[in-house]
């Protein structure tokens, strides 16, 4: 059975994909493991919240998005250490 991935984890995967592998939509789809429609929906939400920005080379993390990703990573480590799921 495929493990359940929460909304927060999906957002984290998208932000991490952009941070590590660049912001082309095909790259994000691959690394975040999402369908095109769902990915676009999430990206629209992230754009709206100012966590990502759209440029010539695709999407990029904003300063706020980068900080949010760092906080999420810390939260994930804390969750894992105590045995919670993010």
Partner 1 sequence: MPLRVILGYDIVMSFVSSAAAFIISYYAYRAYSVTKKKSFLLLQLGFTFAGFGLLLDSILLSAAILSRIFHLTTTGYTLYFALTVIAYVLVLSSYAVDKFEFSETSIPSLLPLIGFGALPEGILLTLAGAITIQLGLNFLLNRSVDKLLIFMAFAFIFFGHLFFMLQAIRFAGFLILGHIFRFLGFASFLAFILRVVKPG
Residue ranges of E strands in 5-57: 52-55
Cα(7)–Cα(10) distance, integer angstroms: 5
- Closest to partner 1 by CB, 56 vs 81, is 81
Question: With binding defined as CB under 8 A, does residue 79 bind partner 1?
Answer: yes
- Judge contact between 78 and 86, C-beta under 8 A: no
Question: With binding defined as CB under 8 A, does residue 8 bind partner 1?
Answer: yes
- Closest to partner 1 by CB, 38 vs 77, is 77
Residues near partner 1 (CB under 8 A) are: 3-4, 6, 8, 68, 71-72, 74-75, 77-86
């Amino acid at each position: 059975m495929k493990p359940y991935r929460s909304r927060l984890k999906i957002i984290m995967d998208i932000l991490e994909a952009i941070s590590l592998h660049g912001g082309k939509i095909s790259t994000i789809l691959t690394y975040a493991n999402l369908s095109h429609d769902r990915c676009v929906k999430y990206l629209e939400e992230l754009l709206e919240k100012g966590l990502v920005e759209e440029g010539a080379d695709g999407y990029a993390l904003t300063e706020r998005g980068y900080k949010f990703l760092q906080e999420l990573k810390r939260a994930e480590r804390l969750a894992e250490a105590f045995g919670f799921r993010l």
